[in-house]
Amino acid sequence: MAAITRVLESQQFILGDEIESFEKEVGALLGVREAVSCASGTAALEISLRALGIGSGDEVMTTPYTFVATAGAIAWTGARPVFVDIEPETFNMDPRLLDSALTPKTRAIVPVHLFGCCASMKSILQFAREKRLWVIEDTAQAIGARYDQAAAGTLGDVACFSFFPSKNLGAAGDGGMVVSNDPGLAGRLRLIRNHGSRRKYDHEILGTNSRLDALQAAILRVKLGSLSVWTAKRQERAARYHELFADRGLERHVSLPHAPPGRTHVFNQYVIRCHQRDNLRAFLNARGIPTEIYYPVALHLQPAFSYLGYTQGNFPCAEAASAETLALPVYPELDDERQNAVVGEIAEFYRLQR
């Protein structure tokens, strides 16, 4: 409330000190030179692609198993999203499939660090370097995640964060951030998010209005101070889920998320694969346990992307995931009792199936 009052008293609602301070703080946290806040995670993706000059006639490779914004932002610039199937274990883009999706029009790759665990960046970056492609990390779900000690968002050329309320660092509304170690790119991003303008009524390039509200920045600055504690609590809850599932011998029915060696998972979502997913979900819902499906329809099968000409069967791993995954409650305040109830009810469901 003090932070909100501070902004209201200042009457500085657009850009200004809160924004600059928040950008500095996020840059320092991630160990990255430039942080440019913007209106949302979706906007972060759009302005990054545009700042890299990507648009009509270009192709950009990404995963079909992600929130719609990842591919939507690509399409919105006029470029064509080209999907690459996922690794079943991490739900992230499978780098072994990049080569077969490459064409002379390919300009960039957008890997997504889904659920809070990094994609196989070593192979993706190596491929991108060889083929001279930009790498735009979609870090919307992965603030604080690490890959061989480096922070998610510092691996590619540019990275896009979201402060949508359900993310690990959530605003009281929409918000986003682009980070990069390239000052030239950051300069273009700052122009694009503010009508191509450095000085009022002087428009150097075509831009848009994609600024973060100072009120949101002030709220996010307060919450940023707790992020590492909240992340540790999510990780602790995830470890406890592993113990509870193992104790009950449920591994026959569900497979649990785990990060490959060298990757630190921040569990924006705790997503299991399970038998009879839809029946299990209905059973849990009837017992007051909320769950969610991320994502029930892979993007290549969404009507909005039908013009790309994909069909059922094109990305079998993404399609299997969309039929089998279930996100269980995970948040820093989740207590033992509620967590026990989640696993207890799942055990009960499978017991009744026998």
Nearer to ligand PLP, 138 or 319 (CB): 138
Query: Which residues would be at the binding site for ligand PLP (CB under 6 A)?
Result: 40-42, 66-67, 69-70, 112, 138, 140-141, 162, 164, 174, 176
Spatial separation of the C-alpha atoms in residues 195 and 197, rounded to whole Å: 5
- Give the nearest residue (CB) to ligand PLP: 41
Q: Which is nearer to ligand PLP, 48 or 194 (CB)?
A: 48
Measured from the CB atom, is 70 or 235 closer to ligand PLP? Answer: 70
Residues 6+ apart with CB under 8 A from 325: 91, 271, 272, 273, 274, 277, 293, 294
Closest distance of CB 117 from ligand PLP, Å? 12
Residues constituting the chain: 354
H/E run at residue 115: none
As measured in angstroms, the least distance from the Cβ of 163 to ligand PLP is 7
Least Cβ distance, residue 278 to ligand PLP (angstroms): 23
Distance of CA 72 to the CA centre of its chain: 14
Smaller CB distance to ligand PLP: residue 47 or 274?
47
Q: Which helix (H) or strand (E) holds 173?
A: none
Return d(Cα 49, Cα 271) in angstroms, integer.
29
Cβ closest to ligand PLP, residue 276 vs residue 302: 302
Q: How far is residue 89's CA from residue 272's CA, in Å, rounded to a whole number? A: 11
Residue (244 or 259) nearer to ligand PLP, CB: 259
Identify which of residues 176 and 350 has a Cβ nearer to ligand PLP in the complex: 176
Asked whether the beta carbons of 181 and 34 are under 8 A apart, the reply is yes
- Considering the complex, what minimum distance in angstroms separates the CB of residue 138 from ligand PLP? 5
Residue 95 in 3-state DSSP? helix
As measured in angstroms, the least distance from the Cβ of 203 to ligand PLP is 25
Minimum CB separation from ligand PLP for residue 318, in Å?
14
201-208 CB contacts, 8 Å cutoff, 24+ apart: 208/47
Distance CA 108, CA 159 (A): 13
Give the shortest CB-78-to-ligand PLP separation in angstroms: 19
Report the residue number, 40 or 235, with the smaller CB distance to ligand PLP. Answer: 40
Q: Is there a contact between 273 and 317 (Cβ–Cβ < 8 Å)?
A: no
Residue 62: other Cβ atoms inside 10 A: 25
- DSSP for 256-297 reads ---PPTTEE---SSEEEEETTHHHHHHHHHHTT---B-S-SS
CB of 218 to ligand PLP, least distance (A): 18
